[in-house]
């Protein structure tokens, strides 16, 4: 990669990270001027690298899809391998569910992912093409993998709406620590999340997951 290409990549990445922060706070009402200023770039860099503000918004969605995909690819590959077995190893499935939850908690208690969460939260409530992009590429496949793992462990049908709802409710327990972040910080008397607090959250979630899975298991 030559110096010109490297400089272009750096400028593009700076604009995406600045745009994530601005779009997370203001949605598409964010201005290209503010995005460029936050990125330390000339405003002309946005049409040069992306075309329009809407194209930059979609580029942010693609960045999020790539980020989520990269972080959960090992879990998805492990799920595929387990589910492909004639008789999936239930202990391994349970361990993988715990590992995926632990990874999600680690990501959602980091300040670095706040902009990402704000962006996706806006899209959940007022979806645009950007949400469909992220959903199709990573959220739907990962949600499906999680549902299939839960179904394989509990003896339920992965295609049944009730199983999908149980899966979504379980994931929601983890999301509550991001979407209800300020509530738990105030209630627990914490000023911020750190590794120790994330470990405690993980311990609680693991306990809840096991209770839920035990309750859902059909003998």
Look at residue 7 in the predicted model and tell me its pLDDT: 84
Phi and psi for 194 in degrees, rounded to 5? -140, -175
Q: Which value, in Å, is the radius of gyration of the alpha carbons in the chain?
A: 20
Look at residue 219 in the predicted model and tell me its pLDDT: 66
Is the pLDDT reported for residue 32 higher than 90? yes
Give the three-state DSSP class for 158. Answer: coil
d(CA 13, CA 11): 5
Look at residue 6 in the predicted model and tell me its pLDDT: 82
Beta-carbon count within 10 A of 80 CB? 11
Look at residue 5 in the predicted model and tell me its pLDDT: 78
Torsion of CA 67, 69, 175, 214, to 10 degrees: -160
DSSP 113: G
Q: Mean of the pLDDT values across residues 49-57?
A: 97
How would residue 199 be classed by pLDDT, with cut points 50, 70 and 90? very high
Is the pLDDT reported for residue 134 higher than 80? yes
How would residue 183 be classed by pLDDT, with cut points 50, 70 and 90? very high
**What percent of the chain shows pLDDT beyond 90?**
95
pLDDT tens digits for 144-182? 999 999 999 999 999 999 999 999 999 999 999 999 999
pLDDT tens digits for 90-125? 999 999 999 999 999 999 999 999 999 999 999 999
Single pTM value for the model:
0.94
| Domain extents in the chain | 1-51, 58-216
**What percent of the chain shows pLDDT beyond 70?**
98
Closest by CA to 209, choosing from 88, 219, 201, 109, is 201
Look at residue 4 in the predicted model and tell me its pLDDT: 67
pLDDT tens digits for 5-29? 788 899 999 999 999 999 999 999 9
User: What fold, for 1-51?
Assistant: Arc Repressor Mutant, subunit A (1.10.10)
Kindly report the average pLDDT of the chain as a whole number.
96
User: What fold, for 58-216?
Assistant: Tetracycline Repressor; domain 2 (1.10.357)
pLDDT tens digits for 62-94? 999 999 999 999 999 999 999 999 999 999 999
Look at residue 2 in the predicted model and tell me its pLDDT: 64
């Amino acid at each position: 990669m030559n110096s010109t290409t490297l400089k272009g990549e750096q400028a593009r990445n700076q604009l995406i990270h600045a745009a994530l922060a601005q779009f997370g706070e203001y949605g598409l009402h964010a201005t290209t001027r503010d995005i460029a200023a936050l990125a330390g770039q000339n405003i002309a860099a946005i049409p040069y690298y992306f075309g329009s503000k809407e194209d930059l918004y979609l580029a942010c969605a693609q960045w999020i899809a790539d980020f989520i995909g990269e972080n959960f690819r090992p879990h998805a590959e492990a799920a595929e391998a387990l589910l492909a077995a004639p008789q999936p190893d239930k202990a391994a499935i349970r361990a993988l569910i715990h590992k995926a939850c632990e990874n999600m908690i680690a990501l959602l208690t980091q300040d670095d992912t706040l902009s990402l969460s704000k962006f996706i939260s806006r899209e959940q409530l007022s979806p645009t093409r950007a949400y469909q992009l992220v959903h199709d590429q990573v959220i739907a496949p990962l949600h499906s993998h999680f549902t299939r793992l839960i179904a394989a462990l509990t003896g339920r049908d992965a295609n049944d709406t009730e199983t999908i709802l149980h899966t979504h409710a379980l994931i929601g327990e983890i999301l509550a620590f991001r979407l209800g972040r300020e509530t738990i910080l105030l209630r627990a008397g914490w000023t911020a999340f750190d590794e120790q607090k994330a470990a405690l959250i993980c311990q609680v979630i693991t306990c809840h997951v096991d209770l839920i899975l035990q309750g859902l298991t059909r003998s």
